Amino acid sequence: MRRQGAVSVGKRLGALVAVQVATAAILLAVAFAAYARLAADLAFMHRYVLAPVEAISEAMEHAAQLKLAAEAAPKRPPDMTLMTNWARDVGHFLERYRAEWAVAGNMTDDALRFRADRCDRAHGADIVHQTGAVPGCMLRA
C-alpha cells in the first residue's frame, strides 16, 4: 500500500539533479564575476602601478649611467649628452604623471584648466611628438 503524499524515487532524483544544476549555475556565475574583478584589478595594476614603476626604473638607469660615467672619468666633466637626456626623460615622466595620474579623472574646473594649458603648451613646444598623445587635449574637442 502506498501512503498518501509519498514521493517516488524518480521525483526525488529529479529534484536532486535540479538542485545540483542550480548550484553549478550559481558557482559558475560567481566564478565569472570573480574572474572579471580579477581582470579589472590586474588592468588597474598594470596601468597605474607597473607603468610608472617602469618609467621610474628607466630614469634610475639613466641616473646610474650618469653616476658611473662621472666616477669613471674624474678628470673630465660628466657626459653632458647623457645628463641632458636624463633630465629630459625625468621631466617627461613628471609631466606625464601629473597629467595622467593626478588629474586625468578629475573633472573640476582647475583640472580642466590645467589640461587645457598643458595641451596649449604641448602644441607650442611640440611635446606631443616627443611624449605621445596628451590626454587632456581630447577633452576640449
Q: Report if residue 8 sits inside a domain.
A: no
Element (H, E) at 126: none
Q: Report if residue 22 sits inside a domain.
A: no
Which domain range does residue 102 map to?
A: 46-140
Whole-model pTM over 0.75: no
Q: Report if residue 60 sits inside a domain.
A: yes
User: Highest mean pLDDT: which of 9-23, 81-95, 116-130?
Assistant: 9-23
Other beta carbons within 10 angstroms of residue 23's beta carbon come to 10
Position 55 pLDDT exceeds 50? yes
Instruction: Give the model confidence (pLDDT) of 19-38 as tens digits.
Output: 999 999 999 999 999 999 99
Check residue 34 and give its pLDDT.
96
Q: Report if residue 39 sits inside a domain.
A: no
Q: Report if residue 1 sits inside a domain.
A: no
User: Highest mean pLDDT: which of 2-11, 26-35, 53-62, 131-140?
Assistant: 26-35
Q: Report if residue 121 sits inside a domain.
A: yes
Instruction: Give the model confidence (pLDDT) of 61-102 as tens digits.
Output: 888 887 777 776 666 666 677 778 878 888 787 777 766 666
Q: In 106-131, which positions are buried (b, 16+ CB within 10 angstroms) versus exposed (e)?
A: eeeeebeebbeebbeebeeeebeeeb
Position 132 pLDDT exceeds 60? no
Q: Report if residue 23 sits inside a domain.
A: no
Q: Report if residue 64 sits inside a domain.
A: yes
> In angstroms, rounded to a whole number, what is the distance separating the alpha carbons of residues 45 and 42?
5
Query: How many domains would you assign to the chain?
Result: 1
Give me 13's grid cell: 532524483
